[in-house]
Amino acid sequence: MSVTVFLDKDGTLLEDIPYNVDPQRMRLAPLGDRALRLLAEYDCRVVVVSNQSGVARGYFSESSLERVEDWLRTVFRRFGVDFAGFYYCPHHPEGDVAEFAIECDCRKPGDGMLRRAAADLGIDLSEAWMVGDILDDVEAGNRAGCRTILIDNDNETEWRLSTLRWPTVVVRNLESAARAIVDDIVTHSARRPRSRSVA
């Protein structure tokens, strides 16, 4: 069975441009191309989970996120990655759009997006990984029961540590995160990359 990897969007999978929903400005994070090829090689399926409070703040409409999902689907297809879904939280309690200005369980560090994806896609969260660039991502993954990877690329500025905010692995970039995941796959399941023939 494929290993599922939850990826945060901005600052993890993509270059960190705040409130960006314009595909023309979207770029993979450094070494992101290598990371995606590696995840594809080991048949990982990827779910992107992203806080999108710009909807609640009135910066862009929820429908704008359809273009984001289309762009993600195209990029993942290019690298041969099994793109299983894009889950986002449009809420923020201090938002200006009443419909979305609420407390919710999906906004990270809550684990609602991961649990919804698990229910929709049949994911065993104990076998999944959550990868992000801040400790809110780590906490969301830990709350859901995933193993977690923090990409320490200077985007985390508060460092409010607790048991729930302690990552399984800390790395410097997305390629290293992917390498940690596939190393674990090889070690614990003897899974081999698609490009190798197994006798």
Distances (CA, A) of 90 to 100, 104, 111: 6, 10, 14
DSSP string computed for 80-145:
T-EEEEEEEE---TT-SSTTT-S--SSSTTS-HHHHHHHHHHT--GGG-EEEESSHHHHHHHHHHT
Q: State the amino acid at position 174 in one-letter form.
A: L
Question: Which residues fall within 8 angstroms of residue 22, CB to CB, at 6 or more apart?
Answer: 67
Concerning whether 82 is annotated as a catalytic residue, the answer is no
> Which of 8, 133, 136, 137 is an active site residue?
8
Concerning whether 184 is annotated as a catalytic residue, the answer is no
Catalytic residues: 8, 10
